[in-house]
């Protein structure tokens, strides 16, 4: 009985230690969510202004827009899939949901007769495809929680170069859209070729100023479109970073709550084992006393 009590107490101490770790990770993730959300909100005005600048330039360019990043290739032969995952685990179903979307994209491209070309951001995604022996054209790691703009530039420039060299004919991105700390949604969006309506706008927008362009509007648009794609990649990285921290906080909170429940169960087991031990000791004492009393009467 004493051995059983020692085992239960050892398990209680182990679960208490685990609870401290999960609680600390929950608090760290909570603090990072606020900063990640601020970065997401801070990047949106830049994206809005860049889109408006492209709309203005496109309106003055006149005629049909022509640019390599707007080119719809037919027939398309290869489709790129950019998958954004985390570098660390302990984030619940965060990576599983993104990878499921990525697999759906790969299957969809294959059904259309395109060869999927995979690009991965994050150690978890790289490990997933390596384990399944899926070729990866390029992989980036080490910045999933706090993505810098320089990394978005590096990724975007590689994707633009591959599209220009026709290594891929279109590009889709699988990432997690951050709606709020409680609403995360794995989603897929097409990044390349850029849809003309993204440049020209979906409806008329009055222009209250006249512009003089130096160089020409076409040359300015040639510079803005790559910036636009890099901004989309950066926005996806920021959304994914905020979603990763939110998912990790949720997972660590669930783990902490489960640890508390397990400690309660184990404590009841320890109390029961201790009561059984005390009862056994009392019975042994009473039995010994009765045996002594019987022996003295003889």
Q: Return contacts of 31-35, CB within 8 angstroms, 24+ apart.
A: 32/145, 32/245, 33/181, 33/242, 33/245, 33/246, 33/249
Distance CA 297, CA 226 (A): 105
Query: Of all residues in the chain, what percent carry a pLDDT higher than 90?
Result: 30
φ and ψ at 284, to 5 degrees? -65, -40
pLDDT of residue 138: 93
Is the domain of 23 the same as that of 73? no
Q: Whole domain around residue 260: which residue ranges?
A: 2-27+252-297
Between 48 and 99, whose confidence is greater? 99
pLDDT per position as a tens digit, 84-96: 999 988 888 899 9
Beta bridge partners of 189: 173
* Residues 150 and 114 occupy one common structural domain: yes
- Cα–Cα distance, 54 to 82 (Å, whole number): 24
159 with 20, same domain? no
The long-range contacts involving 262-267, CB below 8 angstroms and separated by at least 24 positions, are: 262/15, 263/12, 263/15, 263/16, 263/19, 266/8, 266/11, 266/12, 266/15, 267/12
Residues 91, 218, single domain; the answer is: yes
> 126 and 257, same structural domain?
no
CA distance 129 to 244: 19
* CATH value at residue 258: 1.10.287.80
- Least confident span in 187-196, 233-242, 248-257: 187-196
Instruction: Give yes or no for residue 282 having a pLDDT over 90.
Output: no
Average pLDDT for 173-198: 82
- Is the per-residue pLDDT at 204 higher than 60? no
CB 84 within 8 A of CB 122: yes
Both 127 and 231 in a single domain? Answer: yes
Whether 16 has a pLDDT exceeding 50, the answer reads yes
Total-model pTM? 0.79
The span from the CA of 288 to the CA of 270, in Å, is 27
User: Is the pLDDT confidence value at 23 over 80?
Assistant: yes
Residues forming a β-bridge with 171: 80, 192
Q: What is the pLDDT of residues 156-176, one digit of tens each?
A: 999 999 998 889 999 999 999
Q: Which residues contact 29 (CB under 8 A, 6 or more apart)?
A: 245, 246, 248, 249, 252
Closest CA to 173 of 87, 256, 233, 261: 233
Query: Both 89 and 168 in a single domain?
Result: yes
CA distance 286 to 283: 5
Return the pLDDT at 158: 93
Name the packing angle between helices 149-164 and 217-297 (round to 10°). Answer: 120
Predicted confidence (pLDDT) at residue 188 exceeds the cutoff of 60: yes
Judgement on whether residues 121 and 259 belong to the same structural domain of the protein: no
Per-residue pLDDT for 52 more than 50? yes
State pLDDT tens for residues 232-252. 899 899 989 999 988 988 889
**Looking at residue 289, what is its pLDDT?**
74
In what order do the strands lie in the sheet containing 170-180? 136-140, 115-121, 78-84, 170-180, 183-192
Residue 81 sits at φ, ψ, to 5 deg, of -130, 110
**pLDDT greater than 60 at residue 260:** yes
Q: What is the pLDDT of residue 126?
A: 93
Average pLDDT over residues 29-42: 82
- Band of the pLDDT at 182, cuts 50, 70, 90? confident
Q: Return the structure tokens found at 266.
A: 């184990």
Whether 137 has a pLDDT exceeding 80, the answer reads: yes
Give residue 208's pLDDT band: very low, low, confident or very high (50, 70, 90). Answer: very low
pLDDT at 288 over 90: no
Residue 191 and residue 237 in one domain:
yes
The DSSP output letter for 70 is: G
Sign of the torsion angle spanned by Cα atoms 151, 154, 157, 163:
negative
CATH number at residue 143: 3.40.1380.10
If asked whether residues 101 and 222 sit together in one domain, one would say: yes
Judgement on whether residues 200 and 145 belong to the same structural domain of the protein? yes
- What is the C-alpha separation between 112 and 266, in angstroms, rounded? 56
Q: How many domains does the chain have?
A: 2
Q: What pLDDT, on the 0 to 100 scale, is given for residue 56?
A: 66
Give 16 or 67, the one with higher predicted confidence. 16
Indicate whether 47 and 192 sit together in one domain.
yes
What pLDDT does residue 3 have?
67
Weakest-pLDDT range from 20-34, 197-211, 239-253: 197-211
């Amino acid at each position: 009985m004493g051995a059983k009590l020692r085992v239960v107490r050892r398990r209680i101490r182990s679960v208490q230690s685990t609870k401290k770790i999960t609680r600390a990770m929950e608090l760290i993730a909570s603090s990072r969510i606020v900063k990640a959300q601020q970065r997401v909100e801070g990047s949106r005005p830049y994206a809005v202004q860049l889109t408006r600048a492209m709309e203005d330039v496109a309106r003055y360019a006149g005629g049909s827009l022509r640019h390599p990043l707007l080119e719809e290739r037919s027939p398309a032969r290869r489709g790129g899939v950019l998958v954004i995952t985390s570098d660390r685990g302990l984030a619940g179903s965060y990576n599983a949901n993104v990878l499921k979307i990525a697999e759906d994209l790969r299957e969809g491209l294959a059904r259309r007769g395109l060869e999927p070309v995979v690009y991965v951001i994050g150690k978890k995604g790289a490990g997933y495809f390596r384990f399944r022996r899926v070729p990866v054209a390029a992989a980036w790691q080490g910045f999933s929680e706090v993505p810098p703009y320089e990394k978005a530039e590096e990724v975007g420039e590689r994707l633009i170069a591959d599209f220009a060299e026709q290594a891929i004919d279109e590009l889709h991105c699988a990432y997690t859209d951050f709606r709020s700390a409680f609403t995360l949604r794995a989603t897929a969006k097409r990044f390349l070729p850029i849809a003309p309506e993204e440049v020209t706008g979906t409806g008329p927008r009055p222009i209250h100023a006249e512009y003089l362009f130096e160089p020409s509007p076409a040359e300015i648009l040639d510079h803005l479109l790559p910036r636009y794609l890099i901004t989309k990649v950066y926005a996806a990285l920021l959304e994914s970073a905020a979603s990763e921290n939110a998912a990790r906080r949720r997972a660590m909170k669930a783990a902490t709550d489960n640890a508390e429940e397990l400690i309660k169960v184990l404590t009841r087991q320890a109390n029961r084992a201790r009561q059984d031990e005390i009862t056994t000791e009392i019975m042994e004492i009473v039995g010994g006393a009765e045996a002594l009393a019987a022996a003295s009467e003889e």
